[in-house]
A and B are shown apart, each in its own frame.
Chain A
Amino acid sequence: MDYFADSFAAAFALILQLDPEIMRIVFTSVFISLSASVIAALLAVPAGVVMALNRFKGKAVIQHLLNTLMAMPTVVIGLLLYGLFSRAGPLGEWGLLYTPTAIIIAQAILIFPIMMNLTVTAVNAADPRLIPTLRSLGARTLPMMLQVIRTTRFAILAGVITGFGRAIGEVGAAMMLGGNIEGFTRTMTTAIALETSKGEFELGLALGMLLLLIAFLLNFLLSILNKAKS
C-alpha cells in the first residue's frame, strides 16, 4: 500500500515541479496528436459533409466500411505503415520510419473514419429543413457545404475532439512507427509503457494522470459543445 501511495505522491510532485522530461513528452504527444487531428479533420469533415449531402451508389458500403474502420486496432495500422515505411518497403526512401511524421500519418489514418462518420451523423441529425432551405436560396455546392458545416459546427467539432482523444490515447502505432525515441518520438502512452517496464512507476503514473487530465478536459469540452448544440 505504501508503495502505491508513495508512487502517487512522487508522481504528483513530478507534475507540480513541471519536470522537464514530462513536459517534453506531453508536448510531443499533444503536438503529434493535434497535427494528426488537424490533418484528419481537414479531410474527414468535407468528405463527411459530401457523403451526407449526396445520394450515390455504394454509399451504404462506404458507411459499413467506416463503421468497421472506426474499430480498427491501432497495431494493425502500425503494422501496415511499418511495412510501407521500413527501408525495404515501397516508401522506405522517404525515411519516415521512427519519426513524428510517421506517427502523425498513422494517427490521422486511425481517426479519419471516426471524424468522417461523426460528421455524417452530425449533418444527418441537422434540421431536415436546412438543406431544402439552402437549396431554395440558391446555394451551390461549396457555399452549401460551408453553410452546413457552419450550422452543424458544434456537432462536427465534437467529432473532431473525439478523434483527438482517440489519437492521444493510442499506443500501438506510436510504438511501432515512432520507436519511442526520447525527446523525438516519445509520446505519453509509449513513455508510460516503457517507464513502467523499467520500474519507473512514478514517471509512468505522472504521465498517466496527465493523460487522464487531458481526457477529462476533452470530455468537459464535449459537454460544453453538447450544451451549445442544443
Chain B
Amino acid sequence: MTPAYQLSDIQVRFDSRDVLNIPSLSLSLNQSTALLGENGAGKSTLMNCLAFVQAPDQGQITLLQETIGSKLTAAQRRRIGYVTQQPYMLSGTVRDNLKLALRLQQIPRTRHDELIEKTLALVNLMPQADQDAATLSGGELKRAAIARAIVYEPDILLLDEPFSHLDQRHIRQLETSIREFAAQDGKTVIFSTHDRLQAMAIADNSINLVNGRVTSAPLLNLYHGRCQQQLFNTGHLLIHIGEVNADARHIAIDPRQIIVSDQPLHHTSMLNSFAGRLTQIAEENAQVRLMIDCGEPFYAVITPTSLHNLALQLGDTVWVNFKASAVSVF
C-alpha cells in the first residue's frame, strides 16, 4: 500500500540535542493516524516537518512517493492542509481567511464560493462565516483553522494537538469535523495528541513518540530514569528489567501486563511487586482502568469481574505485580 509519508534518517537538533531522531517511519495513506507523546516529545517538530514548514537537519521525507527537494511545488503544497497547535488567523472574517487560502493555493475563482460554503457546512461554522476571526471562541477558532486548511481539498490533513485547551462540547464538535473529513474518499488525517483515549477514539492507528524517537512501547506507565545493571531507577522506585541498556533513559509497562492483587504475591516469577494506594477506578471500553500510587503512578487494566472479586475501593492498599520482561527499556 502506498504510504502518505515515508521518513528516513530524519534528525532535527536544537542546541546540539536531538529533538527528533527517526531512522525510518511510514505513515499510512487514507487512514487516521495519531502521534502520541508527552509535551516535548517532538510531536510539533514532526508535524512541522510533515507540513514542510520546517526542514529537518538531516534525512529525507517522501510525500506520496515523491521525494521532496528544498521546496514543495504548488501541486504538492495543495495536497497538504496543516493546522498548528495555536492556529493564527489573518485579519478579516472567517470567510476572508478561507478565500485567502484559496487564492494562495491558486484555486480558480469560479470555485471559491462553492468550496467555502461546502467547507463551512462540514465544520459547522456557517453562523460564524462573516464573523471577525479575532472574535472567535477557542473551539470555533480551531474549526475555522481546520476549515481554512481543508477548503482547497487537500488529501492529507495534519492537526497538531487539535483538542488542547478545549472543553468537552468543543472537543466533540471537533471530533465530528475530523471524522467527517476523514470519512471522505482518499483522505488521510494525521494528528498529534498526548491523550491516548482521544487517539483511540478517532485514529485507525497510532505512533508513540518519546524524546523525539518512535517507540513501540505503550505510553501509559512511562517512567524516566537510569539503568543500574538489572534495575531501573526512576528516582522513586527500583524496577527490575529484563534487558539492560546503559544508554536507556525510559521504561514503559503495558497496563495489561500488570497483575493487581490485594495481597503480596509470593513464590512467583514476577520480580516486581510494589504496594500502593488505589487512587482511581474508571470504566474504559468495557474494562476497568485502575490507577495505583506506589511512589510512581501505575495504570492497570482489569476486567469488571476482577474488580468485583477483589472488592476494590478507592484508598485500598493493593499490590502491583509484573515481570521484568514486561518492561520495555528505551
A-side residues, CB < 8 A to B, are 127, 129-130, 132-140, 143, 147, 150-151
* Shortest Cβ distance from residue B142 to the other chain A in the assembled complex, whole angstroms: 14
Check B90 against A147 for contact (C-beta < 8 Å).
yes
For residue A133, which residues in chain B have a CB less than 8 angstroms away from its CB? 84, 87-88, 90
Q: How far is the CA of A140 from the CA of B78 in the complex (A)?
A: 12
A135 near B53 with CB under 8 A, answer yes
10 contacting pairs across A/B (C-beta < 8 A): A129-B84, A129-B86, A133-B87, A136-B51, A136-B82, A136-B84, A136-B149, A143-B103, A143-B104, A151-B91
Q: In the complex, which residues of chain A have a beta carbon less than 8 angstroms from the beta carbon of B106? A: 138
Query: Taking beta carbons and an 8 Å cutoff, which residues of B are in contact with A?
Result: 48, 51, 53-54, 74, 77-78, 80, 82, 84, 86-88, 90-91, 100-101, 103-106, 148-149, 152
What is the bound-complex CA distance between A189 and B262, given in angstroms? 93
In the complex, which residues of chain A have a beta carbon less than 8 angstroms from the beta carbon of B105? 137-138
The reply to whether B101 and A137 contact each other, CB–CB distance below 8 Å, is: yes
Q: Is the CB of A139 within 8 A of B88?
A: no
Q: Is the CB of B53 within 8 A of A132?
A: yes
Residue of B with least CB distance to A127:
B88
Q: Which of B77, B88, B101, B148 contacts A130 (CB 8 A)?
A: B88
Contact partner, B74, options A132, A138, A151, Cβ 8 Å: A138
Closest to B152 in A: A138
Is A138 a contact of B84 with CB atoms below 8 Å?
A: no
| Minimal beta-carbon separation of A206 from chain B (angstroms) | 43
Report the minimal beta-carbon distance from B75 to chain A, rounded to whole angstroms. 10
The answer to whether B77 and A138 touch across the interface, beta carbons within 8 angstroms, is yes
Cβ distance B52 to chain A, nearest Cβ, rounded Å: 8
> Cβ of B90 and Cβ of A151 under 8 Å apart?
yes
Q: Is the Cβ of A137 less than 8 Å from the Cβ of B74? A: no
Closest chain B CB from A160 CB (angstroms) = 20
B271 to chain A, nearest CB (A): 49
A132 to B106, CA, bound (A): 18
Residues of chain B lying within 8 A (CB to CB) of residue A132: 48, 53-54, 84
Give the residues in chain A near B152, CB-CB below 8 Å. 138
Closest-by-CB residue of A relative to B77 is: A138
Residues on the B chain within 8 Å of A130, using CB: 88, 90
Q: A132-B53, A147-B90 are in contact. Are A137 and B84 (CB under 8 A)?
A: no
Closest to B145 in A: A133
Closest to B105 in A: A138
What is the bound-complex CA distance between A147 and B89, given in angstroms? 12
Chain A facing B: main interface SS: helix
Distance of A151 from chain B, by nearest CB (Å): 7
**B48 and A137 contacting across the interface, CB-CB below 8 Å:** no
User: How far apart are the CA atoms of A135 and B86 in the complex, in Å?
Assistant: 16
**CB-CB < 8 A to B84: which residues of A?**
129, 132-133, 136
In the bound complex, residues from chain B placing their C-beta under 8 Å from that of A138 are: 74, 77-78, 101, 104-106, 152
B81 to chain A, nearest CB (A): 8
| B104 surroundings in chain A (CB, below 8 A) | 134, 137-140, 143, 147
- B148-A137 in contact (CB<8A): yes
Cβ-defined contact, B77 with A129, below 8 A? no
Contacts of A143 in B (CB 8 A): 103-104
Contacts of B90 in A (CB 8 A): 130, 133, 147, 151
B325 CB, nearest partner CB in chain A, Å: 44
Q: How far is the CA of A130 from the CA of B89 in the complex (A)?
A: 8
**A139 CA to B74 CA, complexed, in Å:** 9
Contacts of A134 in B (CB 8 A): 104
**Which A residues are in CB contact (< 8 Å) with B100?**
137, 147
Q: What is the chain A residue whose CB lies nearest that of B158?
A: A136
Which residues on the A side are within 8 Å of B82 (C-beta)? 136
A138 to chain B, nearest CB (A): 4
**How far does the alpha carbon of A129 sit from the alpha carbon of B101 in the complex, in Å?**
15
Tell me, rounded to whole Å, the shortest Cβ–Cβ distance linking B269 to chain A: 52
Docked CA distance A136–B157 (Å): 11
New A-B pairs, 7, CB < 8 Å, besides A136-B80, A138-B152: A130-B88, A133-B84, A133-B88, A136-B82, A137-B101, A138-B74, A138-B101
Give the shortest distance, in Å, between B79 (CB) and chain A (any CB): 10
List, in ascending order, chain B residues with CB within 8 A of A151's CB. Answer: 90-91
Q: Provide the residues of chain A in CB contact with B74, threshold 8 Å.
A: 138, 140
Q: In the complex, what residue of chain A is closest to B97 when comparing beta carbons?
A: A137
- A136–B78 contact, CB under 8 A? no
* Chain B minimum-CB-distance residue to A131: B53
How distant is the Cα of A137 from the Cα of B152 in the complex, in angstroms?
A: 9
Closest CB of chain B to A62's CB: distance in Å? 23
- Distance A133 CA – B48 CA, assembled complex (angstroms): 11
4 closest pairs, A vs B, by CB? Answer: A129-B88, A136-B82, A138-B77, A138-B105
B326 → chain A, closest Cβ, in Å? 42
Q: How far is the CA of A143 from the CA of B80 in the complex (A)?
A: 19
- In the bound assembly, the distance between CA atoms of A127 and B88 in angstroms comes to 8
Roughly how many angstroms separate A133 CA and B80 CA in the complex, as a whole number? Answer: 13
Residues of chain A contacted by B80 (CB below 8 angstroms): 136
